[in-house]
């Protein structure tokens, strides 16, 4: 069984839920306190043992690439001013991991974006992390939990969360095989954004996956599905005719950064967890009571 060494992060979408900000700046660069959302996602991958990361962007999103590279002018400036702490901050990530980029110029859907990672995966299973979902794992990072489950099963794993009935139509929804209440269960089917009347459960795909490379065979021939888009969920359903696919309930807190409420929640929560900001944030919150 091949180990999970690679992670793919799609980041080529328009971010229409966050206009007007996303007119000029990618939603992946929205800062949670002082760090772009996509950096938290890359850090989750590193903390999960990932060695190679691919980010899928488009030519309007070059600033994501800039963020993960060296900024020699800035580094030299900080050196000349003896700003060692700041220098460490800007140098840390490029030293830890090499991030690769590929381009998806047409926004045809998540399935189409993932297909752009075929050469990068090069026949290996890989982790997939969607940038709208930021997790704070309870004991381990969300992706690490999925990798552990993959190491146990050798199969594709979908990270899930339980959502209320009124929200099932916003997610890919899983139908477990049997009635087991275990956190790791084999799936019978998945359906993308079902109406609540026909949703098979409340188990939603939460933006974290481990996928075997067989997924690419199905993505290549995937026709358009929900919303007229090439849906990853539809290819995962077809993958189930060839291989077992499991879901794993992610143990941790999720923030939906793609929604304004989730973004504000993360901003407040992450500030309260920072020793340099917690007191200031408490003071601000008290003022607005």
Q: How many CB atoms lie within 10 A of CB 282?
A: 12
Residue nearest to ligand G1P (CB): 172
Site string for ligand G1P, 203-242 (x = CB under 6 A): -xxxx-----------------------xxx---------
Q: Which of residues 187 and 281 has its CB atom nearest to ligand G1P in the complex?
A: 187
- With respect to ligand G1P, which residue has the nearer C-beta, 150 or 171? 171
Instruction: Let me know: does 156 contact 209? Beta carbons within 8 Å.
Output: yes
CA distance 39 to 263: 15
Least Å distance, CB 234 to ligand G1P, is 9
**Is 94 or 262 the residue whose CB approaches ligand G1P more closely?**
262
Shortest approach of ligand G1P to residue 9 CB, angstroms?
A: 13
Q: Which is nearer to ligand G1P, 39 or 132 (CB)?
A: 132
Q: Alpha helices, DSSP H only, in 97-139? A: 110-115, 118-121
Angle at which helix 72-80 crosses helix 84-96, to 10 degrees, equals 150
CA angle 207, 152, 50 (to 5 degrees): 50
172 is an interface residue for ligand G1P by CB under 6 A: yes
Backbone angles phi, psi at 134, to 5 degrees: -105, 130
User: Cα angle vertex 41, ends 35, 47, to 5°?
Assistant: 105
- In angstroms, what is the minimal distance from the CB of 163 to ligand G1P? 9
Q: Any idea of the CA torsion for 233, 235, 240, 242, to the nearest 10 degrees?
A: -170
Least CB distance from residue 92 to ligand G1P, whole Å? 28
Q: What is the DSSP string of 237-252?
A: HHHTTTS-EEEEE--E
192 binds ligand G1P (CB under 6 A): yes
Q: Find out whether the peptide bond into 20 is cis, omega within 30 degrees of 0.
A: yes
Q: Give the burial class of 111: count Cβ atoms within 10 A of its Cβ; 0-12 exposed, 13-18 middle, 19 or more buried.
A: buried
Nearer Cβ to ligand G1P (99/257): 257
Quote the least distance from Cβ 251 to ligand G1P, whole Å.
17
- 252 forms part of the interface with ligand G1P (CB under 6 A): no
CB of 84 to ligand G1P, least distance (A): 39
Tokens representing 273?
A: 């967890």
| Smallest separation (angstroms) from ligand G1P to the CB of 287 | 33
Residue 157 Cβ vs ligand G1P, minimum distance, rounded to whole Å: 14
124-143: contacts with ligand G1P (CB under 6 A):
130, 132-133
- Torsion on CA atoms 70, 73, 77, 80, rounded to nearest 10: 90
x/- string (CB under 6 A) for ligand G1P, residues 73-92? --------------------
Segment near ligand G1P (CB under 6 A); pick from 33-41, 81-89, 200-208, 267-275: 200-208
Residues near ligand G1P (CB under 6 A) are 110, 130, 132-133, 171-172, 192, 204-207, 231-233
């Amino acid at each position: 069984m091949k180990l999970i060494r690679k992670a793919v992060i799609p980041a080529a979408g328009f971010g229409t839920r966050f206009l007007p900000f996303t007119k000029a700046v990618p939603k992946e660069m929205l800062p949670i306190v002082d760090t772009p959302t996509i950096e938290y996602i890359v850090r989750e991958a590193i903390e999960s043992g990932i060695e190679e990361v691919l980010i899928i962007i488009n030519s309007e999103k070059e600033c994501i690439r800039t963020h993960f590279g060296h900024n020699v002018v800035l580094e030299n400036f900080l050196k000349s001013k003896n700003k060692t702490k700041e220098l460490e901050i800007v140098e840390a990530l490029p030293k830890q991991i090499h991030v690769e980029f590929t381009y998806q110029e047409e926004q045809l859907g998540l399935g189409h974006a993932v297909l752009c990672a075929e050469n990068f995966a090069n026949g290996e299973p890989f982790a997939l992390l969607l940038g709208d979902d930021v997790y704070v794992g309870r004991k381990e990072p969300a992706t690490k939990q999925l990798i552990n489950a993959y190491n146990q099963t050798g199969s594709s794993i979908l990270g899930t969360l339980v959502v209320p009935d009124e929200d099932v139509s916003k997610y890919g929804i899983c139908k477990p095989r049997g009635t087991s209440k275990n956190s790791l269960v084999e799936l019978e089917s998945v359906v993308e954004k079902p109406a609540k009347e026909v949703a098979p459960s409340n188990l939603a795909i939460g933006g974290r996956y481990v996928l075997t490379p067989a997924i690419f065979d199905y993505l290549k021939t995937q026709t358009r599905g929900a919303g007229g888009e090439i849906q990853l969920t539809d290819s995962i359903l077809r993958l189930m005719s060839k291989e077992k696919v499991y879901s794993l309930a992610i143990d941790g807190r999720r923030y939906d950064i793609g929604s304004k409420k989730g973004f504000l929640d993360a901003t407040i929560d992450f500030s309260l967890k920072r020793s340099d900001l917690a007191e200031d944030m408490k003071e601000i919150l008290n003022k607005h009571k």
